[in-house]
Chain A
Amino acid sequence: MSAFSISINSDCSTDANFRAWITVITNIMATAWVQTSDTGQINLLTVTHPLSIGNVQGYQIWRMNDSLQSTTPCYLKLEYGASTSSSATYPGIWVSVGTGTDGAGNLTGSNGIRIGLSSSAGNTGGTIKGSIDINRVCMYVFYGNVNTQMLICVERTHNTSGSDTSTGIMCFLNSYVSNTTSFSCIPSVVTTSQAAWNFAMPASLTSNAWGTNIYTFPIRTWGQGETSPSNQLFVHYPSDITALNLIPITTWEGTTRTFLPVGSPYAALGYGTTVAQQAFAIRYE
């Protein structure tokens, strides 16, 4: 597993710039996941930049590379193009997760869930931050501007020991345009996407610092009831943790992992929350 923080420019105004940010994502994914042999995938040497809002110029399909892949496969389809916001020069990424592929770029077992992430600004400069392993990825693309940044977080469900299970895949997404989305992909089960992450925060508090510790809030999605918590995302009160200061978080099973608070308080990461603002931290190891 590894963390990354790489410069990336949210710009689709030229072929070169459009290819550049896709290449950064591609290189990160290739460090731990496997690009499938599906036909028709994007050619980063020849693809042209989008000319219209919402245009998709091409896609890639990646699969996990862990021991569960043979019995409970996870495929991630990333489609690259222009934002659905106000300009074709702003990036857009569409995310789908499935349990199989037909070899021609079409996922199977995805329940038709395809979530679009869009920037509403471009050419701001920024970074892509996150971490990746053979069984998960959490990347905050175009980080540094709330109008451009897009979160893509995919991982397997876990048992009470924190180990991956074959129950399903959890996907958490966020961007300025699409706001917050989560969904689970469970083999042979019809699920739907939800316009929220599943977490709860006490409305009567503005901080969760007690003694020498600061407590964060686990995030789930829904599928067969609620899923297990994510090992890649935690919500916290914005004032509790300084952005970009790495923090260790010990989870329910006693494992301590490194997280990067990304700041940028949001008003409604969760569904209908009464907490004024929340922020989140991404796994960074």
Chain B
Amino acid sequence: MNNMATATTSTSTAYFTTDAGFRTMGSAIGTAITSVNLIKTSDTGQINWTTVLHPTTQSTVSGYEVYRFNDYLQSTSPVYIKIEYGCGSYAVGYMGLWITVGTGTDGAGNLTGNISQRVAIASSAIDTNTRTSYFSGDVNRLCFVLWPQNPANMSSQWLVFGIERSHNASGVDTGTAAHIFWSSATSPFGSCQYLLLGTTTNFITPYVSQGWYCSIPPSGGGSLSPNLYSYPIKSYNMYETLPIFNFVHFAGTDFATGSTFSITGYDSVSRTYYVPGMVNTNAGYFAFTGAPLTTALLMRYE
């Protein structure tokens, strides 16, 4: 894609006490999403960042925005992303997002068609320092990692989300489904969903896999001179899908925070990835019982 883009925002980390603070934090997310080439829809009732009040109780939504893909498949396999902004489930003043993906909208902010689980991601840490958040997207994909670089609260602060279309064996987008991945302090192992698009009957709707579908070796790492190897992440829907491109896992000792790498995927295409922090999404099912390797996340960043 020629339009793919990245964006960063810097805000006080995931914590607000005033209307102004909430507006600054939330509007920055929306602005970053449109800057990486997704389209904000004309649905009525969307959040007004100049007037919205900050939530004062836990698990409270203050408003929403609806975005859509803008690629050639949107007319036949539409993807709409509803993001609700508010206070997460952990404590008052802690940022929370609720994200739902659907194949249509009624024009008033309600998704229609095949609809994903309403994903809740939220922080559970206070950090008043200014932290950077990272976005990457295109007309057909989006991924972001919010506030990853607080060493004191690494595992409790970040919010991770990614959505992209399914791909064929050549790495080309298909209209079959959308890969949806998320992780945060309130979803610590990471979860994913493979949402079938179009009119296809979804056997498992909404089937949510706890854990990202990825397997890391029990020992060693990805370093085999002269290359470093990362580990692909897949969705699961009856069977494992081809890998996603928004994220890959790596052995934590192989890459340093802030590094940028070119990674060649199964389709022989080289893409740029960034290490936003030691964001450990637990590498899927095979880390629950204790991973010998420290694994972390690379996000696509181009």
Contacts and interface: CB of A to CB of B under 8 A. Distances in A.
Contact of A204 (B210, B217, B224, B240): B210
Interface in B269-302: 284-291
Nearest to A197: B215
A134 interface: no
A192 B209 CA distance: 30
A230 to B, nearest CB: 14
Interface in B97-112: none
Interface of B (DSSP majority class): loop
A247 interface: no
Given A192-B219, A208-B238, A274-B285, A200 B224 contact: no
A160 B169 contact: yes
A200 B218 contact: no
Contacts of A270: 215, 286
Interface SS, A side: loop
Interface string A262-273: 000000001111
Contacts of A198: 215, 217
Interface in B197-239: 203-204, 209-211, 213-220, 222, 224, 227, 229-232, 234, 236, 238-239
Contact of B224 (A201, A203, A217, A224): A224
B72 interface: no
Contacts of A225: 222, 229-232
A201 B285 contact: yes
Best-buried of A194, A203, A220, A271 by chain B (most CB within 10 Å)? A271
B219 A200 contact: no
Interface string A187-201: 001111011101111
B222 A194 contact: no
A273 B203 CA distance: 25
A80 interface: no
Contacts of A274: 285, 288-289
Given A189-B224, A203-B210, A272 B217 contact: no
Contacts of A75: none
A211 B286 CA distance: 27
Contacts of A211: 203
A82 B262 CA distance: 49
Given A201-B285, A272-B291, A194 B217 contact: yes
A192 B215 contact: no
B219 A226 contact: no
Nearest to A190: B224
Contacts of B229: 224-225
Contacts of B238: 208, 210, 213, 215
A6 interface: no
Contacts of A203: 210-211, 285, 288
A190 B285 CA distance: 27
A252 B167 CA distance: 13
A222 interface: yes
A226 B215 contact: yes
Nearest to B217: A222
Contacts of A92: none
Contacts of A223: 224
A192 B251 CA distance: 15
B12 to A, nearest CB: 37
A252 B162 CA distance: 25
B194 to A, nearest CB: 11
A218 B240 contact: yes
A271 B222 contact: no
A253 B232 CA distance: 19
A91 B234 CA distance: 40
A202 interface: yes
A201 B291 CA distance: 16
Interface in A30-59: none
Given A215-B238, A272-B288, A274-B288, A200 B215 contact: yes
A199 B169 CA distance: 19
A199 B234 CA distance: 11
B282 to A, nearest CB: 11
A226 B285 contact: no
A275 interface: yes
Nearest to A225: B229
Indicate the member of A203, A217, A220 with the most B CB atoms within 10 Å.
A203
21 contacts: A160-B266, A190-B224, A194-B220, A195-B218, A195-B219, A200-B214, A202-B209, A203-B210, A204-B210, A208-B238, A217-B239, A220-B215, A225-B232, A226-B215, A226-B232, A270-B215, A272-B288, A272-B289, A272-B291, A273-B285, A274-B285
Interface of B: 169, 203-204, 209-211, 213-220, 222, 224, 227, 229-232, 234, 236, 238-240, 242, 266, 284-291
Given A195-B218, A208-B239, A272-B289, 15 more contacts: A192-B219, A195-B219, A196-B218, A200-B214, A200-B285, A200-B286, A201-B285, A211-B203, A215-B238, A224-B224, A225-B232, A226-B215, A252-B169, A272-B287, A272-B290
Interface of A: 160, 189-192, 194-196, 198-204, 208, 210-211, 213, 215-218, 220, 222-226, 252-253, 270-275
Which 3 A-B residue pairs are closest in the complex by CB-CB distance?
A: A225-B229, A222-B217, A272-B289
